[in-house]
Amino acid sequence: MRTVDLSAATWRKSSYSNSDGGECVEVSDDFAAVVPVRDSKAPHGPVLAFPVSGWTSFVGGVKNGQLTA
């Protein structure tokens, strides 16, 4: 397992996050090979790191309506 140093990561809130403070997801675009994702309500909590290709496919599926809640 590879460790990624996230101490200098710049986080942005997903445009799909609620504006009322609930269900907030943040991602970082600072890494070439992975996309770290975290819960904005727990910034020091766990982070999931997805391969860029997997994250790109996921976001494309959401935008195209292929993934629904």
Task: Note the pLDDT tens digit of each residue in 6-26.
Answer: 988 999 987 766 666 666 889
Does a structural domain hold residue 2? no
Does a structural domain hold residue 5? no
Does a structural domain hold residue 68? no
- pLDDT confidence bin for 62, thresholds 50/70/90: confident
The number of distinct structural domains making up the chain is 1
Q: Which domain holds residue 42?
A: 11-63
Task: Note the pLDDT tens digit of each residue in 41-55.
Answer: 888 999 999 999 999
Does a structural domain hold residue 69? no
**CA-CA distance, 1 to 25, in Å (whole number)?**
24
Does a structural domain hold residue 4? no
Q: What is the pLDDT of residue 16?
A: 67
**Secondary structure E strands in the chain:** 11-13, 25-28, 34-39, 47-51
